[in-house]
Chains A and B, each alone.
Chain A
């Protein structure tokens, strides 16, 4: 049993190290791709970002709405309904915006990336590029990674804004919280540092989600089953990584 654990641990370290080397490779080529092949990156921002907008906005609206509902009804017990705005804004900006966006991003864009790259590998498209003297790393992987990294914070911002809008509709328009008090409280209690925390988180999650999607796709076993497994692993690993990192960043920020 100890031997199994030992080999399992060794294997884990090996994969983890390889992932880091892969990450460094992506970073190494990122600046030149950003400058020289900018259209490729834009196309991927569109793929990962613009195409995820509908799901992000829908979810953001309802998450904001439910925060409004819970906030007002629970804070009413302490006669503090006016603070509902502060509560929803802080929850959205610092936690739910980045985290839920990252999870949705993994499900919508991460799976698409992983399966696309996996299938390109399975159908020899990556090998064909390699034979046409074009590096798949630079032509396929780096633009997709950068697209995700750029799209994710933007999506998180959209999520938070739409969420605030939803919360406002529920608290002020439906549950009759005074609009003046709602906004005054919100403005007084939400600092710039709260916004920064959310931005830092969404950038980190964007890097992690894109990295894992590209990595899993590139290392997929080139069969139907292998590509399927890679997409599943993308979602699962991203969810775990995002939730652990969220805890760590929050602990540092507080």
Chain B
């Protein structure tokens, strides 16, 4: 893989919150034009990683470059220029509750372009049509179901025709039908528009059907990477536990606690 084949490169990343070390020496290279999934058990900092990639958070140590730009060195205006090329889908959609669906999707266009209203209308309706919600243009975010809100957010994320689309847990809490719709949209978006997609998720099933390339994170490091099939057929205990959803294994079912019998008998109370 040469330089230009990677859309995001993370090397030697450390990040901690308070006493809690979240990443320690993390290395990831995300290929351009593919769908890359970042997986891991809850609480491994997957969302934190997305926030680091988009510089909503600043790492303690290490390099992150997006499209060969070292994001640590960017000034605010340069960072904003880069972010215009990144669409991000938040876990709950994060639609602006003051505005209706149409205005939510139009928001980036109105903020960053001087396009005439007619053209904005065309673009927004096209994007809403792509997610199947052209008919919901006049609804308020509070009237939408979770799946619909996420589709609107997806339309908004791609309204500026980004080069990179980032999905934060796009499959969580969706019914099977909405899930299927979103999975298809992710695939279509990536292939039709030549976008690089990054998905953070722990839904093994869905990720396996959609991702080209997978990184599994645990304890602040990448523990496995490869295609979803590679990960399914791995010999590693930890990866097998995660991919097949086994309750106990290298990732313990129990959160660190004092000895069970001791605690019940109250000996550590003194």
Contacts and interface: CB of A to CB of B under 8 A. Distances in A.
Interface in A66-83: none
Contact of A123 (B81, B94, B108): B94
Contact of B56 (A123, A130, A135, A139): A130
A247 to B, nearest CB: 39
B232 interface: no
A128 B94 contact: yes
Given A132-B83, A132-B108, A123 B97 contact: yes
Contacts of A188: none
A234 B83 CA distance: 33
A54 interface: no
Interface string A115-144: 000011001110111111111000100000
Interface of A: 119-120, 123-125, 127-135, 139
B190 interface: no
Interface stretch (B16-24, B84-92, B254-262): B84-92
B92 A124 contact: yes
A133 B92 contact: no
B111 A134 contact: yes
Top 5 closest pairs, chain A to chain B, by CB: A128-B94, A124-B94, A133-B80, A133-B83, A131-B88
Contacts, number: 50
A133 B81 contact: yes
Interface residues of B, number: 21
Interface in B209-232: none
18 contacts: A120-B96, A124-B90, A124-B92, A124-B94, A125-B96, A127-B56, A128-B95, A130-B56, A131-B56, A131-B86, A131-B88, A132-B83, A132-B84, A132-B107, A132-B108, A133-B111, A134-B108, A134-B111
A120 B92 CA distance: 12
Nearest to A129: B96
Given A123-B97, A125-B96, A125-B97, A132 B111 contact: yes
Contacts of B94: 123-125, 127-128
B112 interface: yes
B54 interface: yes
Interface in B88-128: 88, 90-92, 94-97, 107-108, 111-112
